[in-house]
């Protein structure tokens, strides 16, 4: 609708930003009225996280308004340059944005176009400044934008806004959720080849899970964003002040976990994200780790036991023919003891891996049985009572058999 110019105010000796209505709209009565609405909406919101408006002239040949000049860059430019943000930055920017929206909503205004490009980050401290209230209007005002006319950015639009329905402050909360999503992943939650396809996704589809893109994001933050992204406004948070307060307490927890506990709401939302499906994923990840440990154990045993056997044979031969002769350094007792210590450590890691998963919850072979099997493996490996015939062959065969049984048990966990 217009252009923004950097200017200098000689009276107050400061730089300012002047937004001027585009020439093609200057003669359009509806456009001039919309521009006047933007100026009134922005001027009505006085808050530390909203760009202040100094002056407005909607009677000039080309209407304009004078705003504070914010040295810095937009959140969108920050994301484009750096990719996903750190957790503390996400919470801080989200908290400040929600705080500014709470002030606007308290004045009866809905921004209608919250997105990273409309969030300025002031140089140095990167304090949030919400800008561009060009689509804002009073909640009960329908005189400017007619029903069925879409205003906003499709990728960050709320479903009710995409359908051309009346909107309230909860539409801004959906857009805030999309902005938080972009900070977490470096991309907007809804993307497609055309605006129509994007709007269809906004109304019908769920975005990719955040932690499938960025595993560093905690489940509770993904849960907060999922609640903001509820298709039904009733299921979202109901006020921006509620979101600002929640993000503030979450930030305090992240900064000082020993002094501030995570809010119960965040804990519950995190548990919903880490439901049965997520638990099964984590469970399978533990089993995969255990399977790798078993394979590594097999490989280590395959190397060590033949060396051990060769050590015994060579030692007997040397004793018979050259008493007192030194052994090959690669086969000496210290090396074999070290190798067997690695086997014991792997067995311990295997047990710990299975202990990290609640197998009883999935109705599989109980953890005690697998722990007993690893104990039997270790007993067979370190048993001091010599088996009959060849000791090494007997131990190797016994260990292979038990390892095969253990691998079969693990395999059944993936069925």
Region of 123 please: left (phi>0), alpha (psi -120 to 50) or beta.
Answer: beta
Separation between Cα atoms, residue 253 and residue 369, nearest integer Å: 40
Separation between Cα atoms, residue 217 and residue 14, nearest integer Å: 41
Task: Output the tens digit of pLDDT for each of the chain's 415 residues.
Answer: 788 999 999 998 999 999 998 888 888 888 888 888 878 888 888 999 999 999 888 888 888 999 999 999 999 999 999 999 999 999 999 999 999 999 999 988 899 999 999 999 998 788 999 998 876 665 545 445 555 556 678 899 999 999 988 889 999 999 999 999 999 999 999 998 888 999 999 999 999 999 999 999 999 999 999 999 999 999 999 999 999 999 999 999 999 999 999 999 999 999 999 874 555 555 555 555 555 555 555 555 555 555 555 555 555 555 444 444 444 444 455 555 555 555 555 555 554 554 444 444 444 444 455 555 555 555 555 554 444 455 556 666 666 666 766 666 665 555 5
Domain spanning 74-274: which superfamily? Transferase(Phosphotransferase) domain 1 (1.10.510.10)
- Which H/E stretch holds residue 17? strand 14-21
Residue with tokens 């307060």: 245
CATH number assigned to the domain covering 2-68: 3.30.200.20
- Which H/E stretch holds residue 188? none
Q: Which tokens hold the place of 245? A: 């307060």
Where are the chain's structural domains? 2-68, 74-274, 277-413
Spatial contact of 41 and 133, defined as CB atoms under 8 Å apart: yes
Q: How many residues does the chain have?
A: 415
Q: Is 334 a catalytic residue?
A: no
Separation between Cα atoms, residue 99 and residue 324, nearest integer Å: 83
Handedness of CA 344, 346, 347, 349 (dihedral sign): positive
User: Per the residue annotation, which of 113, 132, 172, 409 is the catalytic one?
Assistant: 113
């Amino acid at each position: 609708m217009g252009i923004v110019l950097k200017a200098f105010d000689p009276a107050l000796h400061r730089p300012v930003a002047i937004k001027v209505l585009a020439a093609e709209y200057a003669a359009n009565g509806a456009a001039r009225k919309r521009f006047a609405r933007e100026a009134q909406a922005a001027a009505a919101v006085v808050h530390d996280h909203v760009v202040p408006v100094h002056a407005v002239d909607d009677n000039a040949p080309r209407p304009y308004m004078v705003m504070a000049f914010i040295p810095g860059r937009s959140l969108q430019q920050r994301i484009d340059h750096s990719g996903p943000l750190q957790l503390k930055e996400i919470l801080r920017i989200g908290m400040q944005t929600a705080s500014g929206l709470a002030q606007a909503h308290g004045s009866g205004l809905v921004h209608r176009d919250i997105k990273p490009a409309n969030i300025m980050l002031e140089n140095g401290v990167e304090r949030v400044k919400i800008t561009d209230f060009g689509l804002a209007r009073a909640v009960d005002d329908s005189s400017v934008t007619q029903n069925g006319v879409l205003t906003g950015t499709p990728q960050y639009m709320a479903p009710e806004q995409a359908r051309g329905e009346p909107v309230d402050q909860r539409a801004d909360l959906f857009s805030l959720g999309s902005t938080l999503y972009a900070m977490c992943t470096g991309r907007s939650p809804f993307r497609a080849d055309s605006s129509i396809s994007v709007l269809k996704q906004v109304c019908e589809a769920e975005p990719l899970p955040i932690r499938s893109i960025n595993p560093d994001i905690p489940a509770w933050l993904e849960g907060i964003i999922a609640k903001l992204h509820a298709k039904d406004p009733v299921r979202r948070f109901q006020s921006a002040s509620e979101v600002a307060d929640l993000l503030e307490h979450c930030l305090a927890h992240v900064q000082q976990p020993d002094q501030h506990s995570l809010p119960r709401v965040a804990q519950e939302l995190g548990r919903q994200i880490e439901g049965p499906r997520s638990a099964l994923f984590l469970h399978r990840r533990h089993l995969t780790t255990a399977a790798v440990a078993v394979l590594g154990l097999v490989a280590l045993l395959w190397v060590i036991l033949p060396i051990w056997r060769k050590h015994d044979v060579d030692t007997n031969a040397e004793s018979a023919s050259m008493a007192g002769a030194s052994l090959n350094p690669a086969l000496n007792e210290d090396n074999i003891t070290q190798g067997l210590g690695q086997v014991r450590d792997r067995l311990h890691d295997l047990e710990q891996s299975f202990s990290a998963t609640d197998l009883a919850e999935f109705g599989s072979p109980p953890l005690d049985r697998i722990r007993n099997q690893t104990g039997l493996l270790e007993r067979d490996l370190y048993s001091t009572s010599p088996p009959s015939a060849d000791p090494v062959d007997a131990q190797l065969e016994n260990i292979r058999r038990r390892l095969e049984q253990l691998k079969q048990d693990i395999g059944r966990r993936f069925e």
